[in-house]
Structure 1
Amino acid sequence: MKNQLKTSQITMLGLMIAILLLMAYTPLGYLNIGPLAITFNVIPVAISAIVLGPAGGAVAGAVFGITSCLQCIGVGGSSAMGATLFAINPALAIIQRFVPRFLDGILLGYIFRGTRKKSKNVYLSCSVTGFFSAFLNTLFFMTMLVVLFGNSEYIQGLMGGQNVIVFICSFVGINAVCEMISSTVITGMVGAALYKARLLPGTATEGTEAVKRDAVRL
């Protein structure tokens, strides 16, 4: 049973990576509104972290980060900001695009584990993980943008003399809110479905314990 569950989880990770790549290289993954695009690629990362923990989240996050880096040079879509940052400093641009997604994936695995220990409501745990997938992605992305490129003429021009916090809030704007809402709802629904299909860690054990309890009652 454990081997079957592990195989199913690895298969799910492969599926999430395939979906992530599809979304990254088609309009499905991005919705361009304002200076930053709304991305839905955080959702497969969250689901990977839910199914396979920090390791699965790290793998999916790394794939997301790589596709984001490639956009800086026009591979699989283009990012005006990414191209500009890459022209300023290629190494820092790669760090700024890759590291936030990689860290996001790792932390989501721990967030799901922590919420599952505190709550028996799997939909709530998955929804919380989905929310943080978008929130942390935005937080890490903007933090590294300011830290690594805050003194560049490009970012200084975007800031327009604003306070850093005000700049971040106004820059991400409605995009971040849309990402958080969509990621929370979709991840919660998908996670609940995976739980019913016994594809989440611990569901096989919970099912066995339930059978034992029913047997005792009989």
Structure 2
Amino acid sequence: MKNKLFIQKLVGTAILAAVVISLQLILGSIKLGPFNITFTLIPIILAAILYGSLSAAFLGAVFGIMVCFSVVSGNDAGGYILFSQRPLITLLLCLLKSTLAGYLAGLSVHCTKQKLLRILLPAVLAPVVNTGIFILGLVLFFQETLALWANGQDAVVHFLVFSILGVNFLIELLVNLLVSPVIVRILQGIRFTKEEVENI
């Protein structure tokens, strides 16, 4: 029985990793302002709900690697600007924010026994951690660039709140909150994932 569950977890994680790569390649370039809005957190949240923190962290790392490719190639314009100034810090930031978002989303599933909260907590926590670490990285390592994007040091807080948090973050949060429960409900009817969903 343990082997069967392990194989299901492995196969499910691999399928979701393929979804992460596909989403990042197809939808990774939806831009609002200097940054991309990501829908790639959805499979990471599903991994957190179905398979736990390590699977979600792995998918977060896959997502981070895809973002690194996008940043280095210049496909992500805002990321490329940061990369051209501090390459190593930018790449570490890309990997850290998404990996921790997955890991912490997976841990949050165990914070409650209520089924709906076990779905909604990861859907909230993943974008909060992803965006929060990104903003922290901007404030700590890219203050001059941040001031330039905000049109002056005095407007940095306004830029962070109304541009990054107000647009990018809110859209990601709303999409995750709306889509994740729907997908979990759909997965209840699929034989491969029915058992995992019932264990939520």
Equivalent in the alignment of 2:12: 12
User: Given residue 124 of structure 2, which amino acid in structure 1 is its aligned partner?
Assistant: F
**Over residues 56-112 of structure 1, what are the superposed CA-to-partner deviations in whole Å (9 max), with x where a residue is unaligned?**
1110010111111111121xx711111111110111111121111111111011111
In the alignment, which residue of structure 1 is the partner of 2:54?
A: 55
**TM-score, normalization by structure 1:** 0.81
* Match of residue 101 from structure 1: 98
Q: Which residue of 2 is the match for residue 161 of structure 1?
A: 153
1:167 CA displacement = 3.1
Code of the aligned partner of 1:113:
H
Q: Distance in 2 between matches of 1:168 and 1:137?
A: 14
How far apart are the structure 2 equivalents of 1:32 and 1:164?
Answer: 20
1:80 aligns to 2:77 (yes or no): yes
Q: Give the CA deviation at 1:133.
A: 1.5
Alignment of 1:177-188 (within 5 A): 177-188=170-181
> Aligned residue for 1:210?
none
Q: Would you say how many aligned residue pairs link Structure 1 and Structure 2?
A: 194
Rg larger for:
1
1:170 matched residue in structure 2: 162
Which residue identity does 1:90 align to in structure 2? P
SS at match of 2:36: strand
Mapped to 2, the partners of 1:113 and 1:190 lie a distance apart of 20
1:16-55 matches, cutoff 5 A? 16-26=16-26, 28-55=27-54
Q: What is the distance in 1 between the residues matched to 2:5 and 2:188?
A: 12
Unaligned runs of 5+ in 2: none
Taking structure 1 as reference, are residues 170 and 162 closer, same or farther at Cα in structure 2, changes over 3 Å only? farther
Letter in 1 for 2:46: I
Query: Is 2:135 the counterpart of 1:142?
Result: yes
Distance 2:159 2:85 in 1: 20
Counterpart of 1:191, as a letter, is V
Q: Measure how far apart 1:148 and its partner are.
A: 1.7
Query: What secondary structure does 1:57 align onto?
Result: helix
> Tell me, what secondary structure is at the counterpart of 2:196?
coil
State the SS of the aligned residue for 1:171.
helix
The CA distance in 1 between the partners of 2:169 and 2:157, in whole Å, is 14
Of all paired residues, the percent bearing the same amino acid is 26
Query: What is the match of residue 116 of structure 2?
Result: 123
Residues 1:192 and 2:189 are matched in the alignment: no
CA RMSD of aligned residues (A): 2.0
Question: Residues of 2 paired with 1:180 and 1:53: CA distance?
Answer: 20
Unaligned residue ranges in structure 1 (runs of 5+): 204-218
Alignment deviations for residues 130-154 of structure 1 (CA, whole Å, 9 cap, x no partner): 122122211111111211212x3x2
AA at the equivalent of 1:9: K
Contact 1:96/1:145 (8 A) holds in 2: no
Runs of 4+ in 1 over 4 A off after TM superposition: none
Matched-pair contact (CA < 8 Å) for 2:146–2:156? no
Q: TM-score, normalised by structure 2?
A: 0.87
